[in-house]
Structure 1
């Protein structure tokens, strides 16, 4: 997985609705040499300047871990790492600020969950909750969550015990899984109706491996499960992440990257289905950068979002771009 800046520069667009305020509720930082494209704070600043992005939320991605001390507390290093970046940003006068951190913890490790979550909370006032990914498929063509060998993490008895601690602490939980796993998240949300849960990346309808040529069938299953999940009022959904290679649109293999109109044409069906199911007040657009940057530029992606949302009222658009993220993550 790589970002080809020369290739991305083949498509440049005038920014749509440039004054609209935006919270980007899902981005990462990656150092050079990992499995994902390097992405620094300077890269983030360069991207968010193309639109009126005023706040962001950082999502865990195994960066900045402590290299010593108790093993279970090494993940707290990521919160410390991003908190330091956020403080530097706030002192140099940048228009954008990192306003929230979603870290990680191993909820199945019931004996350490409380200690780890308390350590995250003590490390940064920006800490809002955790993500423990459950994305898993039996196909070797599809990326699986590390240290997971089955698709039902969110109904695992030990996970549920650990989740109860998160629930008691009133923290947010971000979930990432594939379309055929959504039923497990629905069960979790029903069990913990007072926990704010965020479904990442629209539930990632797969389009590679055994799902090639099955887009209509996948869509039908995805939409059915998404509607069922939307009946849980404590669940919100992030609208984005569909440019990842596992979705199977193949943008990254084209001679030219997609335009915003291309994204609208090929993907708006998914976005509108999610908004129809959850309502704008429970939906938020996300960049998922730099992972989605392998397929398109930041300004093109947000142009596509703005074009898709033009049919909604002004207050609904404000929810999709700003309000929902601000409420869900309790951003200052």
Structure 2
């Protein structure tokens, strides 16, 4: 089983230029542009929680643009991409729409994969959320939904992206979330695994909104210790895996939820970090992630799973080719069909993000 003959959609990629656009990591990128400090040395000066999350700072210090993705994709037959918002740092109420406008201006589809859809950044709990959503849609007709950075971890040694826990269940968030239902837009949920019940509650409250779970819920520390105590030993990791299994199954029971088999090489999962430029071999990566993938296939089925590379975030651990191959191998091990392979790597994303079929001819 392989991807030959499939026009692949990579449903989770990021593009950025920290030197020319406002990102949360722009200050560090600009500083190191002028200071003669090796990136690895500079990384040692940052908080441990940041080092554990990114593993290798190289990608964050330079632009990552369509040609960079094309180079990383190599022989994987990616024809279309879904861009996901990433840490745009403008302060104006509608500033995050500027990211959408910027991404739409990039040279996709020339000698690079086409841009099939975009997910903009925004927070339903903020005043002016409806205006921001409309600004995203005005910036590009490819906008299909919104992602809010709600990942929050109880271990203070694990990097959080929301100031407070429980964002998805707050009254302010729920009151604003109806904007997505009104405009028939989807919501991308990126959370840590202990927050999965909050995603389930959100899906139950808004059954008319399609929710796409990012990265199978990012069970931080599932492969090794991170933070102060997370995944500290095999017993803790076994407990973490058991809770993740139960919570993912409960979420999968909601018919309006899809899940991305993406981000499984995020460093925060506790991966061993290989030497730069030497991605983790498929066999080693497969040994770690296969139990997660098998369970995801069990509870969601191939009909509600979508592949994404999460590049360049996953680049310190894997390659795009290896990321795709482990999913192919797990599906083959399960006796999966060519139809199911096509669903995970193309059809499900094409349907969820309303990607123009002509891009995948």
The interval holding the TM-score normalised by the smaller chain is 0.7 to 0.9
Alignment counterpart, residue 142 of structure 1, candidates 139, 158, 165: 158
Alpha-carbon distance in 2 for matches of 1:246, 1:22: 27
Task: Report the 3-state secondary structure (helix = DSSP H, G, I; strand = E; otherwise coil) of the residue aligned with 1:295.
Answer: coil
Alpha-carbon distance in 1 for matches of 2:280, 2:316: 11
- Does the Cα contact within 8 Å between 1:66 and 1:76 map onto a contact in 2? no
- Does the Cα contact within 8 Å between 1:245 and 1:252 map onto a contact in 2? no
Deviation at 1:32, TM superposition (A): 4.5
1:80 and 2:109 aligned: no
Alpha-carbon distance in 1 for matches of 2:138, 2:239: 46
Q: What is the RMSD computed on CA atoms of the aligned residues?
A: 2.0
Corresponding residue for residue 198 of structure 1: 212
State TM-score, norm by structure 2: 0.81
- Does the Cα contact within 8 Å between 1:178 and 1:206 map onto a contact in 2? yes
Between 305-314 and 172-181, the greater mean CA deviation after superposition: 305-314
Alpha-carbon distance in 2 for matches of 1:177, 1:234: 17
Task: Report the 3-state secondary structure (helix = DSSP H, G, I; strand = E; otherwise coil) of the residue aligned with 1:122.
Answer: helix
Structure 1 segments of 4 or more deviating over 6 A? Answer: none
Deviation at 1:221, TM superposition (A): 0.2
Alignment counterpart, residue 244 of structure 2, candidates 213, 222, 232: 222
- Does the Cα contact within 8 Å between 2:6 and 2:346 map onto a contact in 1? no
- Does the Cα contact within 8 Å between 1:24 and 1:57 map onto a contact in 2? yes
Alpha-carbon distance in 2 for matches of 1:252, 1:203: 24
1:25 and 2:47 aligned: no
Corresponding residue for residue 159 of structure 1: 173
Alpha-carbon distance in 1 for matches of 2:272, 2:164: 27
- Superposed, 1:285-296 pairs within 5 Å as 285-296=307-318
Corresponding residue for residue 268 of structure 1: 290
Distance 1:59 1:262, change over 3 A: same
- Superposed, 1:206-217 pairs within 5 Å as 206-207=220-221, 208-209=226-227, 210-211=229-230, 212-213=232-233, 214-217=236-239
Corresponding residue for residue 10 of structure 1: none
For 1:241-261, what per-residue CA distance to the aligned partner results, in whole angstroms no more than 9, with x for missing partners? 121121112234799531112
Corresponding residue for residue 3 of structure 1: none
Alpha-carbon distance in 2 for matches of 1:28, 1:134: 17
Alignment counterpart, residue 107 of structure 1, candidates 121, 124, 142: 124
Alignment counterpart, residue 321 of structure 1, candidates 319, 337, 345: 345
Alpha-carbon distance in 1 for matches of 2:275, 2:124: 37
Distance 1:160 1:140, change over 3 A: same
Alpha-carbon distance in 1 for matches of 2:340, 2:178: 33
- Does the Cα contact within 8 Å between 1:309 and 1:317 map onto a contact in 2? yes
Alpha-carbon distance in 2 for matches of 1:255, 1:331: 33
Alignment counterpart, residue 259 of structure 1, candidates 281, 304, 308: 281
Alpha-carbon distance in 2 for matches of 1:41, 1:205: 29
- Does the Cα contact within 8 Å between 2:137 and 2:143 map onto a contact in 1? yes
Alpha-carbon distance in 2 for matches of 1:97, 1:254: 28
For 1:205-234, what per-residue CA distance to the aligned partner results, in whole angstroms no more than 9, with x for missing partners? 110222222211100000000000011100
Corresponding residue for residue 133 of structure 1: 149
Between 318-327 and 247-256, the greater mean CA deviation after superposition: 247-256
5+ long unaligned stretches in structure 2: 20-24, 29-56, 357-361
For 1:99-122, what per-residue CA distance to the aligned partner results, in whole angstroms no more than 9, with x for missing partners? 10001112111x411111111111
